[in-house]
Amino acid sequence: MRRAQRTNRRAPVDGNRRTYLRAESEDTFIVIAHPDDEAMFMGPTIRSVTSARDAGSLHVLCLSTGDFDGLGNVRRTELPAAAAALGASPANVTVLDLPAFRDGPDEAWRPDAVGAAVWDHVRTRARPGAGVVLLTFDGAGVSGHPNHVSTYRGVVGLVRRRRGSDRGEGEEGGPEIRAYALVTVSPWRKFVGPAEVAVGSVAGVLSGGIGGLLQFLPGRSRQPAPKQPLPRRLYFFRLNPLPVWRAMAAHASQFVWYRRLFILFSRYTYVNTWREIE
């Protein structure tokens, strides 16, 4: 009983309207390092958000063109179609091409540069009066890629600076921001495909209570909900891998055999678990 009460304080349980997914007062920004990160790792989230509310409230910001193999100009043109396959609006897809963000396994991006780029994008694209939710990698970057880790560190720095501004200690103005990191799981869980839905469900019940799961099941209403406190953890489940497959296929330059296997067996095709960045 005590666990149920603690969960309800964080996130009211109502599988129909009172959920983050259906709260039209929030703009969601998916912040990734390379074109194809959205398909390989965040498909369930993008599909869930865009199916539950106006796709125009979701944005994809990619910090690099993915130019490590000299295909940056090709890869940047593939991303809008891939995002559309997941339900996002191609008009809300932005790919940066800056010297500070070169793609590569030996490239560590400066966190302050990442934070500044994300903030510049958010404050010009967020709707007036809307809160902002940033979704990005965690400190392990899912795959350990240093560009993923740098993206996380930049978002962490941005969130902390914005919270400092709320206390009168930093820069002022702009939308209120909350951020979540995509949880990296152990290798044995990473490639169990749809079975991870069951594993993730149990983990969700144990860590956050059943309420954290109920409110992110596909709902029946797109009616806007009143603004309310967001939960500390987010869970998105999708059993059909075809939209993610189509999104990855849109990245034709990257759709080699081992990535096809990855899409079929990766837990990130079916399950996304997010924790709030403090």
Q: What is the pLDDT of residues 125-174, one digit of tens each?
A: 998 888 899 999 999 999 999 999 999 999 999 999 988 755 444 555 77
Tell me the residue ranges of DSSP E strands in the chain: 26-32, 58-62, 93-95, 131-137, 177-182, 233-237, 271-276
pLDDT for residue 195 = 83
Q: Quick check: 251 and 75 in contact, CB under 8 A?
A: yes
pLDDT for residue 80 is more than 90: yes
Select the more confidently predicted residue: 227 or 173: 173
> Residue 89 and residue 107: Cα distance in Å, rounded?
30
Percent of the chain with pLDDT over 70: 77
Could you give phi then psi for residue 181, rounded to 5 degrees? Answer: -110, 135
Q: Quick check: 141 and 152 in contact, CB under 8 A?
A: yes
Amino acid 113 reads A
What pTM was estimated for this model as a whole?
A: 0.83
pLDDT for residue 65 is more than 80: yes
> Residue 38 and residue 36: Cα distance in Å, rounded?
5
Select the more confidently predicted residue: 211 or 132: 132
Percent of the chain with pLDDT over 90: 62
Average pLDDT, the chain: 82
pLDDT for residue 13 is more than 70: no
Q: Quick check: 31 and 151 in contact, CB under 8 A?
A: yes
pLDDT for residue 21 = 55
pLDDT for residue 228 is more than 80: no
Q: Quick check: 30 and 42 in contact, CB under 8 A?
A: yes
